[in-house]
Amino acid sequence: MANRLPPLPVLALVLVLTACSGASPSSGERPADSVAPSAPHTAQPTATAAPRPTKNGCHRLTYEQAVAPVVSGTDVGCAQRHTSQTYKTGRLDLVVDGHLAAVDSPSVQAKVAATCTGLYGDHVGGSTQDRRLSMVQPVWFSPTVEEATAGADWFRCDVVALAGTERLAALPRSSRDLVGGSDRFAMCGTASPDAASFERVPCSEKHTWVALATVDLAGRSYPVAEAASDQMQSACRAAARSRAEDPLDFTWSEERPTRSQWKAGRRYGICWAPA
């Protein structure tokens, strides 16, 4: 899942009104030199810095909130139903080449992404292929520009699991070793990956196909279907044969990444077979 996840949080506004007024002079008294009353003063709205997130905190997020770059959703206890859990918090590095960078600049966000993806595997466990064949994904958040201006300087890395197309699954109380310790969120499909009705779902849900293996794709440019198949066919055939009842009669399917996935850095295909 590439990030960039919620509606902007509501900013706290401070509104200060002040006014001057004077008593009317009593009858017969010489009025003092008159001074025009001051017009009401309104302070400029200011954003309050969002509080620093807590490591291991749990949250109830929608899919849309999980793929936005800033924090939204509801913080809840991990014993309650939740769809994300924080596995890393840290301080933003806003200095790039000796200059202060904006919190939403590509260079700052790239550092956050690198940190969160780099620590993700150690948290959820499993091999690289296990994680590729899982519905579990890392997402990350940083403050809004307004919050950063008010002093917020944190970032947050969360674990989420997809329940289907643009739907998040409820997580267990702890996301530690979520991939390495269980196949609960292994990747399956409701149909062949080339079918119009195909939807990626956890294998704990109703499914008819299962993701078996991944194959790294060579080359710098996006591979056409034939080129991807040439690279994947042997590995996918072997993976399907290894689980078939009849080694001479079995079926498999090859799924190459989409152009947008390739551009985002997914340089591997997935081998599928009937469940």
Instruction: Report the C-alpha gap between 22 and 29 in whole angstroms.
Output: 15
For residue 190, report the phi and psi dihedrals to the nearest 5 degrees.
Answer: -80, -10
Q: Are 212 and 244 in contact (CB under 8 A)?
A: no
Which region holds residue 56: left if phi is over 0, alpha if psi is between -120 and 50, else beta? Answer: left
| pLDDT score for 13 | 23
For residue 113, report the phi and psi dihedrals to the nearest 5 degrees.
Answer: -60, -45
Beta-carbon contacts of 36 under 8 Å, excluding residues fewer than 6 positions away, are none
Q: Are 147 and 97 in contact (CB under 8 A)?
A: no
| pLDDT score for 35 | 34
Chain-centroid distance of CA 86 in Å reads 11
pLDDT (tens digit, 9 = 90+) per residue, 140-161?
999 999 999 999 999 999 999 9
Cα atoms found within 13 Å of the Cα of residue 229, Cβ hemisphere only: 5
Residues lower than pLDDT 70 in the chain: 1-50
Q: Which residue matches tokens 């800033």?
A: 70
Instruction: Report the C-alpha gap between 38 and 40 in whole angstroms.
Output: 6
| pLDDT score for 97 | 81
Beta bridge partners of 91: 154
| pLDDT score for 121 | 98
Work out whether strand 84-91 and strand 95-96 pair parallel, antiparallel, or are unpaired.
unpaired
- SS3 category, 242: helix
Chain-centroid distance of CA 13 in Å reads 28
